[in-house]
Amino acid sequence: MKLRLWITTLVVACLPFAVNAADIEAGKAKAAVCAACHGANGYAAIPTYPHLAGQNPAYIELSLKAYKSGQRTGGQAAIMAGMAAPLSDDDIKNLAAYFGSLK
């Protein structure tokens, strides 16, 4: 159990380095679809939707992958699963980098 926690921590700690290689401009282009709920600049106008601007890129990446794989449930998971389904791993990295770059 401790080994699993250690490995998970190591993987999460390394994700920001992988996100640095992402294409922020490509993420911005993909983010147009996200704007309907999360706002044009990552600030949601509707309180039930989270702001994505300035969010930790590793968290966004892990969340999108969890939605895509069906591991994340509850809340808006059904909607987010549909939104994440067509995204490639590169798309997810680029989106995470773009939202993480916003103030």
Full residue range of the structural domain in which residue 89 is found: 2-101
Number of domains in the chain: 1
Q: What is the pLDDT of residues 39-79, one digit of tens each?
A: 999 999 999 999 999 999 999 999 999 999 999 999 899 99
- pLDDT at 35 > cutoff 80: yes
Q: What is the CATH number of the domain that holds 62?
A: 1.10.760.10
3-state secondary structure the chain: CHHHHHHHHHHHHHHHHHHCCCCHHHHHHHCCCCHHHHCCCCCCCCCCCCCCCCCCHHHHHHHHHHHHHCCCCCCCHHHHHHHHCCCCHHHHHHHHHHHHHCC
Mean predicted confidence (pLDDT) in 74-92: 96
- pLDDT at 5 > cutoff 60: no
pLDDT of residue 62: 97
Average pLDDT over the chain, rounded to an integer:
89
